Amino acid sequence: MTDTLSNPTPPSALTGIKVVDLSRILAGPWASQMLADLGAEVIKVERPKVGDDTRFWGPPFVKPSTASQPPQAAYFHCANRNKKSIAIDIKCQQGQQIIKDLVAQSDVFIENFKVGDLAKYGLDYAELKKINPKLVYCSITGYGQTGPYAHKSGYDAMIQGEGGLMSITGEQQGSPMKVGVAVVDIMTGLYSCNAILAALMARHHTQCGQYIDMALLDVQTAMLANQAMNYLTTDENPSRLGNAHPNIVPYQTFTTQDGALILAVGNDSQFSRFCHLCQLNEFAADHRYSTNAQRVLHRDDVVSTLAKKIKTQTTQWWIAQLELISVPCGPVNTLEQVFDHPQIKHRAMVKQLPNDDGDLIDVVASPINLSATPVQYHSAAPELGQHTYSVLKDVLNYDDASIASAYQLGVVA
């Protein structure tokens, strides 16, 4: 099921890039994990004794809480591999100075505090760029740094609703539904990582960093994609279609004799071949169904006719027959079936990473495959403050007396 680590490792794409990450939950950590996977050194700054909120988002837990450590939820492990964790109290001046000392030698700063919060600690972009003019500073919030909603907090599920995604997700006669994973957070992480990489590239010709303002609601609106353009073109709100596609027919799930099938007919020739297999040649030749545009207009007729045929055979029968005639289709798998899938196994989409105890933890791999500078997997998500001492000592060159004082005062943990 898993692919273990191997040595030696080739060079990484972002070797030499250092990231200070004050973000928590999912969008920011997703972006910084991508940077870490690509070879950047990511120093995750967490609150002493508490850490990232997602450490508690369980069960399930990879590791339970102890007298000295909060728990490690499986959720936390999905977005925090390959990082170093330092526990710093940024509310005190000494803690703020540690962050500033890190920023002085870093390339990227990521945060998802409420608008204006970090200015109270002297950790806003205006202050940090004085320390490091080449700093790329990425702020992630629910609604952005400007506008009438800028002061509000934003969470994935509420943004899915407010940003229109729930209105087009779910069965036609059912209630609005959210997507089964925090897709807005994940997409915001992806957009943020792209923006950071673009800003790092821009430094080559501007010789300075810049500020990145990312908003979950902006991302949600952008990712409406064809549905947004459908609305802007027609001024009509798209309706929920369950598992059907608003612009392609047939492109949805169908009930088979023993389960469900995804039929994804992308063009008219595929539809013709499918109808030939079903002995529906006259149906395919009918002008009401022969082109996709007409099939969309006559969706109910097409779907009801095909549904009767598809229900007569098993899922695997349809997959075998449709693959022979190059009509896209697939099963509806459980996660157990996904991770037992021969293609997922071949692509090594599960890795085993060591935690601080040396135990190996299964994690989902990055989908990025680079030929010369591949993604590398060094460690599972860290314990809270696991690297505080080493960062203060080896990265910042603090002396032992200063480090001991910081621990004693509770500035670090």
Domains of the chain: 18-223+349-409 (3.40.50.10540), 251-332 (3.30.1540.10)
Q: What is the pLDDT of residues 271-309, one digit of tens each?
A: 999 999 999 999 999 999 999 999 999 999 999 999 999
Say how many CA atoms lie within 13 Å of 56 toward its Cβ: 8
> pLDDT at position 10, please?
79
Q: What is the pLDDT of residues 35-92, one digit of tens each?
A: 999 999 999 999 999 999 999 999 999 999 999 999 999 999 999 999 999 999 999 9
Beta bridge partners of 137: 109, 211
The answer to whether 39 and 108 are in contact (CB under 8 A) is: no
Band of pLDDT at residue 326, cut at 50, 70 and 90: very high
The answer to whether 38 and 107 are in contact (CB under 8 A) is: no
Report whether pLDDT(5) > 80.
no
User: In this structure, how many other beta carbons lie within 10 angstroms of the beta carbon of residue 365?
Assistant: 19
Report whether pLDDT(7) > 70.
no
Tell me, yes or no, if 300 is annotated catalytic. Answer: no
The SS3 of residue 86 is strand
Q: Which of 21, 156, 185, 218 is catalytic?
A: 185
